[in-house]
Amino acid sequence: MTPVMLGRPGVRHAAPVKRQPRIFYGWWIVASFLVTLFFGAGIGATHSVFFKPISGEFGWSRTALSTILAVNALIGGLAAPFWGRMIDQWGGRAILPVGASLVGCSLLLLGGLDSMWQAYVLYSLLAIGGGGMSLIPMSSVISHWFTARRGFAMGITLIGASLGTMILAPTAGVIAESLGWRTGYRIYGLALLVVAVPVLLVAVRHRPQDMGLLPDGRTPEPEAEETLLAGDAAAPDARSPGVSLREALRTRTFWLIALGFSMPMFAIRALFIHLVPILTDQGISAKMAATAYGLIAGLSLIGRVGFGYAADRFSKRGMYALCYAVQSVGLICLIGLDSFGTVALVAFIVIFGTSYGGGLSLAPLLITECFGIASMGAIFGALGIAAMVGGAIGPVFAGWTYDTLGSYELAFFVFVGALLIAVAAISACRPVIEAPSSS
């Protein structure tokens, strides 16, 4: 007997449940996100690779250029809740291509940059668009498509970010030396528009139920299938569990996670924006410095997949805290660059690189564990403000430290302390919702 589509007004009904395909469609969505993050992360790496060429061409100090990028980060952070709410309301297929298109157009325009005011405007547009093609909307989609394998799916998605930085950062160094940074921005902007935007338009669907599927490629029991077809709000996954943004804001856990997000961004974004200048100040060529940047990204594959996989089996809070503890050890190695040279650099690349990817994999998993997925996009977006505030201050602080003291050493020690604060904050937070039963 064919079930009749019934249900109460206001409840979005699922499509008829289909026989599960050989390859679960959620993995095609993960693949589209991997491609998008390949370009997104590679574009982010250009901030460090093009830092000295842009500063030298216009005569801007490191503090001045860092301030431009800080404003970029703040505006991106303020836009994050907007993207989060939009993803919850309209879904990933409507939002992600818009963000990617805005980034691509901003990069094309950056190729014609000729004044500081244009830099403020264009980098800000780049940041706003970046929020629409970032992990915030992607993690919301993935959280709907995967439950038991959510951490693994997130780790696979973030392979794109590692590969993008590993390949496109050194490529940007070659382009900067041979064709110039302007051409580099134009090439990357065109690639994003021609490749990533069409892939997102074709592949992304926000919920498996919209295609008659269930999370993780599960096959429903006959009773559950009939309930789902009838559109009953009590059906599995018919109404997402969790708290609202307003409820989350009233909890101690939200503010601990906010601290745990902002402190690492304070350190890590400063490090990556200034990494190529830090290494070239030590006599390393710009091309080799960009290669070191890429190696960190390549090694982060271990952290992205490894921490994501471990989070499906162990405490997400424990994995998150461990991730930043290891990163602090990596930064201590960078402090020894003057004294130990190549040995310190290799230790930094290996230790920091292998742990770096873990934070990105674990952030959305921690949010869903603590608050559920009902308002996951909005909550992640709000926490993105805290992250971007830290990410805005860190690069300016590092630039000021260098311009004032002639060295980044003080900044390195402060960044180690920031990572340790994050370890303490994440360790202290507790889930707001009850963990689902295993039955």
Contact 197, 39 (CB under 8 A): no
Backbone φ and ψ for 207, nearest 5 degrees, come out as -130, 140
**pTM assigned to the model:** 0.63
What residues does 372 pair with on adjacent strands? 242
Domain boundaries, the chain: 25-428
Q: What is the pLDDT of residue 421?
A: 95
Cα 141 to Cα 362: distance, rounded to the nearest angstrom: 15
Determine the pLDDT at residue 190.
93
Mean pLDDT in consecutive groups of 10 residues from the start of the chain, 439 residues: 38 49 82 89 78 84 81 77 77 85 92 88 88 81 81 79 79 84 90 91 82 73 48 42 82 92 88 83 77 78 74 78 89 79 84 79 81 78 82 86 86 92 91 57
Cα(322)–Cα(314) distance, integer angstroms: 12
Topology adopted by domain 25-428: Growth Hormone; Chain: A; (1.20.1250)
For residues 48 and 275, the answer to whether their CB atoms sit within 8 Å is yes
Structure-token pair, residue 123:
């980098």
Residue 299: Cβ within 10 Å count: 20
CB 417 within 8 A of CB 176: no
The CA R_g of the chain, rounded to the nearest whole Å, is 22
Distances (CA, A) of 147 to 30, 237, 269, 372: 14, 10, 30, 11
Distance CA(56)–CA(59), nearest Å, equals 5
